[in-house]
Copies of this chain bind each other. A is one copy, B any other.
Amino acid sequence: MDNTKGKKQLIIEASIKMFCKKGFHKTKVSDIATEAGVGKGTIYEYFDSKKQLFIEMMEYLADQYYNKVLKVMNEEKNITNKFKYYILLEEKIMTKHGDLAQLFMQEAHSIGIDVHQIMGKKRKKLINLIANAIKEGIDKNIFRKINPYTAALTFMGSVHHILYSKIFAKDDFSKEINIEDLHDILLHGIKK
């Protein structure tokens, strides 16, 4: 269990904790080593560089995230509920691991990672997941005939933005936002 795989995992988990807390540049490799309870040199046994560790950590997180969404989308059969539960899942993730969401968006450029290249495929899979649910809704005549990708991106973007506001920005009005409203607006639109 404490074999090679175990130690790599240990380091990744320590890096999640530290990178989330302080960001990429303010986290020292030695911080991660201390957090993981290994020597500084050991990190370089498993990862080529700090940057590479960051990339692998991002991929690991993206996988975890995708799997959670996948589970929700597969388990819930009612179309509109799928979207409701997706929103609830996002809320749960962001409340518990919101700093991860920030990490994803924030660091890539400044590190000089082409985040689109790395995360692209995973993101594509995720969007497809949502878009397929929308397609299904269209096919079942529950949804209007709209571009499912546009709709998926719209839906995801709205959810992220609002939850981000609600959880981080702490505007006075953000507090009053409730998940039902969000669900309602996204499903029914603004217009009468």
Contact = CB atoms under 8 A, between A and B. Distances in A.
Interface of A: 23-26, 80, 102-103, 105-112, 116, 120, 123-124, 127, 131, 134, 137, 141-144, 146-147, 149-151, 153-162, 164-165, 168-174, 176-178, 181-182, 184-192
Chain B CB within 10 Å, residue with most, of A102, A108, A192: A192
Given A106-B107, A106-B109, A120-B171, A153 B144 contact: no
Nearest to A169: B116
Contacts of A26: 110, 112
B192 A189 contact: no
Contact of A189 (B23, B165, B173, B188): B188
A123 B171 contact: yes
Contacts of A110: 23-26, 106-107, 110
B143 A154 contact: no
A146 B181 contact: yes
Contacts of A168: 116
Contact of A161 (B143, B154, B174): B154
Nearest to A162: B153
A131 B189 CA distance: 15
Contacts of A120: 169, 171
